[in-house]
Structure 1
Amino acid sequence: MMQKKEIAVGVLGACGNIGRTHAHNIATYVDGARLAAVYDLDAEKTTAFAEPYGAKVMDSAEALIASPEVDAVLIASWDGTHADLAVKCIEAGKPVFCEKPLATTLEDAKKVVEAERAAGKRLVQVGFMRRFDPDYIKMKKILDSGELGAPLMAHCISRTRSHPAHHTTAQHITNIAIHEIDICRWLLGEDLSEVSVRFPRSTQFAGPELKDPQLVLMQSESGVLIDVEVSGNSYYGYEILCELVCEKGTIRLPVSAEPLVRSYLQCAQAIPEDWTNRFVTAYRAELQHWVDHLRGLAAEPGPGTQDGYAACVAAEALIHAQQTGQWEPVTA
């Protein structure tokens, strides 16, 4: 724990969409923290971004991690860099908030787990922000109360309006479905045992090498069957849905609370454009929890390397299942 009044946070990948969101939240909404330093490959854009916050622009990721002006590091760079940067933070003794995924391969995820184990203390929180979403929290409380009996199935939908042309079939797992992997583990309180993937006809909006959408199937250790529609190019908007089917009833994630507007010959409700509209509260809450834990104000840590690693184990099995078309065991 850091017994400091204010945590000086450095953000890596500060000019990407998620990096800008995290940096802005640290600078504006999170109590007990300040945006001390930023780094991104685009130096000119980074300088312009940092100026209003009074944050120092660093010359490299390594310089930011090593800086005595930085107490803790937030990693929001592209997915493939997460593990290497997390290890460098751990070796420097700096607490780190690592945006999901912890790593894009199981081998790299192991390196982070081993580095933290060697450090002898917990230093990493992984950005599984749905655990901090008020609606998912309500779902878990209802499920844990036992009033609806045991869970039997989970139906999930993850639709994103569009993805870059270079987005790959495997990234549907490591970048998108990774959220459902974690949130289902968290909701059910158990690991996954086997997984599979099915491919329907691809949308015309997907790149030539991308299979989109995908149907991800997962089974938990107790036998709960989970299906996840993963659509990276839904065209119409961003939509996240989840329904737990239990012995005595169901628990459904509410549709985004947008006004229902009736006008001439139509009735319409707005759909979020992307994640920045849907999970505003969750993104701020996860960072507040991270900072509170570092300051000794929150006893329970957020999702850590073991959660990140478990998600990577399932993701690797799913990528294998994409290739075999079979049910694959989830084994480390």
Structure 2
Amino acid sequence: MSELRVGVVGVGVMGADHAERLVRKTAGARLAAVSDADQARAEALAAGLSGGVRVVADPLELIAADDVDAVILASPGFAHAEQLFACLEHGKPVLCEKPLTMDAASSLRVVEAEHKLGRQLIQVGFMRRFDPEYAALKQLLDAGDLGRTLLLHNVHRNKTSTPSFRSEMIVRDSMVHEVDVTRWLFGEEITRITVHTPKPTSLVADGVLDPQLAVFELAGGAMADVEVFVNFQVGYEVRCEAVAERGSATIGLGAGVFTRANERWGGAMPADFRVRFEQAYDIEVQRWVDATLRGEIDGPSAWDGYAAAAVCEAGLESLSSGKPIDVALADRGEVFA
């Protein structure tokens, strides 16, 4: 196969961005078809892209189509389980935006179903692993020059969120990125999570707990924290500091040129995630295409998606109770036996 024919399911903000990326930036791939619950939105997107992109009303029909070799799922999380099982049934490699599914139990069923095939087809869209700054931090920590990593501090702030973005979504749809980053940087599972809820901003609806502060405890004894604030008002800000035995390392201090002049200092702050992580998305999709053409995956696996779902599920329980909650994670050795 010299060219990967890709179908995109869900062409909202993220899906449309991926569709544009496939057409304009990605080598070795061709956007073959798109599908969305909003037919008019899908048709408008297809009309604006060159190459005769088909619009398919039924996402399951797109997945099964003979002219689609692989799929990007950018549909709402509640639809992922059914669509992932369809990808496995038809042997279609899939890049699935987070979450893998909406709960740990269904995510584990996806992991088990993929394992029974004897071939990895699912990659999860935790794009921060592909961001050059995060990749450099991972390389630095793995080299061991700073000694063992002891603590990880994370900040995840959005300028604004939609009125429908509730407290639970802050855990499942925003904090999930720091869950994956923490597991990846330490190379360990998170065993306990505590979600604290300080006084909320006055700029959200009653009952919405924003910001949130979570503490992760890892299997090896290290700890991580994350502040998630999705109505920060200033801009999109993601920072990460790793504290090790012989030093620390920080990423995300500025976007663009950081200046000092006229008794002032500062730099630009992006408006949203697509600007901050544009390069990460470009690298992620290109490497997914390249790996798929080789018959492999090159990124977070279905297990990574399941593990993140299990941590977030415990996080939702902690959000409700205010107590530390142990993460109930299946035994990996038994799952892959």
- Per-residue CA deviation, residues 277-311 of structure 1 (Å, 9 max, x unaligned), is 100111011111111111118x6631110110111
Query: Which secondary structure does the structure 2 equivalent of 1:259 belong to?
Result: strand
Q: Quote the residue 1:11 is aligned against.
A: 8
Q: Quote the residue 1:30 is aligned against.
A: 26
Question: Aligned-pair RMSD on alpha carbons?
Answer: 1.6
Quick check: 2:235–2:270 contact (8 Å CA) kept in 1? yes
Q: Please, which runs of 5 or more residues in structure 2 have no aligned partner?
A: 330-337
Whichever residue aligns with residue 159 of structure 1, its letter is: R
Quick check: 1:241–1:255 contact (8 Å CA) kept in 2? yes
Distance 1:180 1:267 in 2: 28
Whichever residue aligns with residue 328 of structure 1, its letter is: I
Q: For 1:155-170, what aligned pairs fall within 5 Å after superposition?
A: 155-170=153-168
Does structure 1 residue 324 correspond to structure 2 residue 321?
yes
Count of residue correspondences: 327
Distance 1:35 1:249 in 2: 46
Quick check: 1:91–1:115 contact (8 Å CA) kept in 2? no
Q: Which of 44, 63, 71 does residue 40 from structure 2 map onto?
A: 44
**Greater mean deviation of Cα atoms: 247-256 or 257-266:** 257-266
Quick check: 2:255–2:270 contact (8 Å CA) kept in 1? no
Q: Quote the residue 1:303 is aligned against.
A: 300
1:265 CA displacement: 7.2
- Per-residue CA deviation, residues 199-253 of structure 1 (Å, 9 max, x unaligned), is 1000012222310000011011111111100101111110000000100000111
Quick check: 1:13–1:75 contact (8 Å CA) kept in 2? yes
Quick check: 1:317–1:328 contact (8 Å CA) kept in 2? yes
Distance 1:170 1:300 in 2: 30
Q: Quote the residue 2:332 is aligned against.
A: none
1:326 CA displacement: 1.3
Quick check: 2:254–2:267 contact (8 Å CA) kept in 1? no
Distance 1:254 1:71 in 2: 36
Distance 1:249 1:164 in 2: 39
Quick check: 1:195–1:314 contact (8 Å CA) kept in 2? yes
Q: For 1:142-291, what aligned pairs fall within 5 Å after superposition?
A: 142-260=140-258, 267-291=265-289
Does structure 1 residue 135 correspond to structure 2 residue 137?
no
Distance 1:262 1:282 in 2: 28
Distance 2:171 2:264 in 1: 37
Q: Please, which runs of 5 or more residues in structure 1 have no aligned partner?
A: none
1:267 CA displacement: 4.5
* Runs of 4 or more consecutive aligned structure 1 residues displaced over 3 Å after TM superposition: 260-268
Whichever residue aligns with residue 41 of structure 2, its letter is: K
Q: For 1:45-84, what aligned pairs fall within 5 Å after superposition?
A: 45-51=41-47, 52-53=49-50, 54-84=52-82
Q: Quote the residue 2:97 is aligned against.
A: 99
1:261 CA displacement: 5.3
Going from structure 1 to structure 2, the CA distance change for 1:291 and 1:144 (only over 3 Å counts) comes to same
**Greater mean deviation of Cα atoms: 258-267 or 124-133:** 258-267
Going from structure 1 to structure 2, the CA distance change for 1:151 and 1:36 (only over 3 Å counts) comes to same
Quick check: 1:8–1:70 contact (8 Å CA) kept in 2? yes
Going from structure 1 to structure 2, the CA distance change for 1:177 and 1:295 (only over 3 Å counts) comes to same
Quick check: 1:161–1:237 contact (8 Å CA) kept in 2? yes
Distance 2:229 2:289 in 1: 33
Q: Quote the residue 2:123 is aligned against.
A: 125
Quick check: 1:83–1:111 contact (8 Å CA) kept in 2? no
1:258 CA displacement: 2.1
1:144 CA displacement: 0.6
Quick check: 2:237–2:252 contact (8 Å CA) kept in 1? no
Distance 2:95 2:58 in 1: 18
Whichever residue aligns with residue 98 of structure 1, its letter is: C
What is the TM-score of this pair, normalised by structure 1?
Answer: 0.95
Percent same amino acid at aligned positions?
38
Whichever residue aligns with residue 206 of structure 2, its letter is: P
Whichever residue aligns with residue 36 of structure 1, its letter is: A
Query: Which secondary structure does the structure 2 equivalent of 1:121 belong to?
Result: coil
Distance 1:155 1:262 in 2: 26
